């Protein structure tokens, strides 16, 4: 018997504890993904935002074969290049604010 047959069989939702700062150098995004790896989302977001992959920090990796909501921070986006939403093939990212530093594993609750 297979417990995880489709992504909807495994749902993960991250919660973070990082104070937001209106003038912070990092944009924080809530990412909803389905059947795509965290690394693939990082690559797609980097391409969409025209930044290096290293500018995007995910505090943890999530299973590709899952429906997951997780957070990432993007370093130093220009003011006119901070989209409120990024739509990818198997993910959506919504900007939830700014922070003074990037997200770390210790920010997860």
Residue with tokens 């700014």: 98
Strand, coil or helix: what is 109?
coil
Per the annotation, the verdict on 35 as an active-site residue is: no
C-alpha span between 87 and 90 (Å, rounded): 8
User: Pick from 60, 63, 31: which is nearest to 44 by CA?
Assistant: 31
User: Pick from 43, 33, 27, 32: which is nearest to 95 by CA?
Assistant: 27
CB 74 within 8 A of CB 15: no
Q: Which of 9, 63, 80, 84 is catalytic?
A: 63
- Please identify every residue annotated as catalytic: 63
């Amino acid at each position: 018997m297979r417990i995880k047959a489709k992504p909807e069989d495994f749902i993960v939702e991250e919660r973070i504890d990082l104070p937001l700062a209106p003038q912070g150098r990092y944009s924080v995004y809530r990412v909803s993904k389905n059947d795509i790896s965290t690394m693939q989302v990082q690559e797609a977001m980097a391409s969409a935002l025209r930044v290096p992959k290293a500018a995007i920090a995910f505090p943890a990796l999530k299973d590709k074969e899952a429906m997951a909501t997780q957070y990432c921070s993007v370093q130093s986006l220009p003011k006119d290049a901070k989209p409120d939403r990024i739509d990818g093939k198997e993910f959506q990212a919504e900007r939830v604010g700014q922070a003074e530093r990037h997200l770390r594993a210790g920010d997860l609750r």
